Amino acid sequence: MKEIFVFSISSFDNFQVPGARKVNINDTSELQYTFWAPREGGRKLLYATPRRFSDVALDLLYISLMVYYVDKKVCRSEQADAWTRDFELYIPVKNIEKWESCNQLLAAALNFLTGDHWVLHFRSWLPLTSDESKYLKGRYWFRRSVRKIDTDTFCMLSGGLDSFIGAINLLKDGRKPIFVSHYGGGKGVKGFQDCVVNLLSSQYKLDSKRFYRFYAAAQDGKEESTRSRSLMFFAHAIVIASGMNHHVDLYIPENGVISLNIPLTVMRLGSLSTRTTHPYFMGLLQNLIHELGLDISLINPFQFLTKGEMMMKCLDMDFLNKHYHKTMSCSHPDQGRWSGQQVGHCGECLPCTIRRASIKAAGLKDASFYRHNYDTPEGQKLLKSYRLGLMTQKDRYAAIQMSGPIYDHYNEYADLYDRGIEELKDFIDSI
């Protein structure tokens, strides 16, 4: 069944479509987000860019919030195949010409990222929201009191091990990044993000204005897969980067094994095989950014590295070795809270397993906290599936295409696959 939504960003928008659900994303009973008042530094932090955010970048942010909203509100289990949903969205934008020309490109990116079918209709909406008006007025009134931040480097900071190493390497290389984080619910991710921010700030003497931290969550969301979250995460950084007067490199640190997310077995297909930083999606997003006229380049510095290799290539090994266990890699860190256990790594999911394998490959004694060691019924099931997957011979060129199409760097990705499998096998064989 097709799910039809008419979105607005203002209560004064009277546009309607028969049979469609109308949602104002600035209605806090529907969606809560903190872009206009980030948790660190408040509104003044948004005034620190050399120029105001571009209209088309703001459009992208709003679109990403709308997509995230429907992704959370419509359950996959209720669909005919228990997975694929059909969405039709009516979306207000400031630059109708740009979005009409990019309609099919954005739909293709969403189709791949979420595994759903998307039909998008754009319409012009020019009046400013109250938050937008406050932003423009604030930039004028506080232009002299707010110290401007100018940089050509942005970096996503999730609180995970990959982004922690990515941040370390940029800072040790003399870059001056702005870090962008997102928190969407649960206690685990936020706590680990706080810890990582504090560690980096202390070690490298960073100004708090270099950290942009945001929250966004649909109210009463029912779906747990949230494949669209990465677009919203990136959109926050893209908006802020649009406030620079020059080209910006946006770093999205993710080891190549997770980026490709090659399923070891059929158990890893569907919701468990995410496409957050898959090269095909990143290519579509980069094309979209270019077509929108935004001077931003997406960079994954670890695209051709395993997680273990990534750890060994960290430019501040002493700092990493002392603190890597304070980062978060688990796909569901909050799960233990319901049974009174500590928030942290489950120790059994594939991201946890890859993390444990990488630490072993780096020659370190794992100081991370894990709730389990494949000693639960689910853990035993997962461990058997990992072993079966590692025992099953696969054509490496076919394997790298399992989660999405690869159009270049075939040999590099195939070699990465081989090394990633060996890293995992070495760990699994040691259990």
The predicted pLDDT at position 270 comes to: 37
138-188 tens-digit pLDDT: 999 988 888 899 999 999 999 999 999 999 999 999 999 999 999 886 656
Q: How far is CA 363 from the centre of its chain?
A: 29
279-314 tens-digit pLDDT: 999 999 999 999 999 999 999 999 999 999 999 999
The predicted pLDDT at position 293 comes to: 98
- Whether pLDDT at 337 is above 80: no
Q: Give the CA distances from residue 198 to residues 104, 191, 228, 346, 366, in Å, rounded to whole numbers and listed in that order.
A: 42, 11, 28, 24, 22
How far, in Å, CA of 418 to CA of 306, rounded?
A: 10
Of 259, 237, 236, 225, which is closest to residue 114 (Cα–Cα)?
A: 225
pTM: 0.95
How far, in Å, CA of 380 to CA of 377, rounded?
A: 5
Percentage of the chain modeled with pLDDT above 70? 95
- pLDDT-derived band at 225, boundaries 50, 70, 90: confident
- pLDDT-derived band at 41, boundaries 50, 70, 90: confident
- Whether pLDDT at 414 is above 60: yes
Of the chain, the end-to-end C-alpha distance in Å amounts to 46
List Cβ neighbours of 396 (8 Å cut-off, separation of 6 or more): 414, 417, 418
What is the CA angle 22-23-25, rounded to 5? 160
What is the rounded (10 degree) CA torsion for 304, 308, 314, 318?
180
The predicted pLDDT at position 183 comes to: 86
Rg (CA), the chain: 21
Query: At 202, which helix (H) or strand (E)?
Result: helix 188-204
Name the 3-class secondary structure at 77.
Answer: helix
How far, in Å, CA of 415 to CA of 404, rounded?
A: 17
- Whether pLDDT at 266 is above 60: no
Can you tell me which residue has the tokens 């994954």?
A: 300
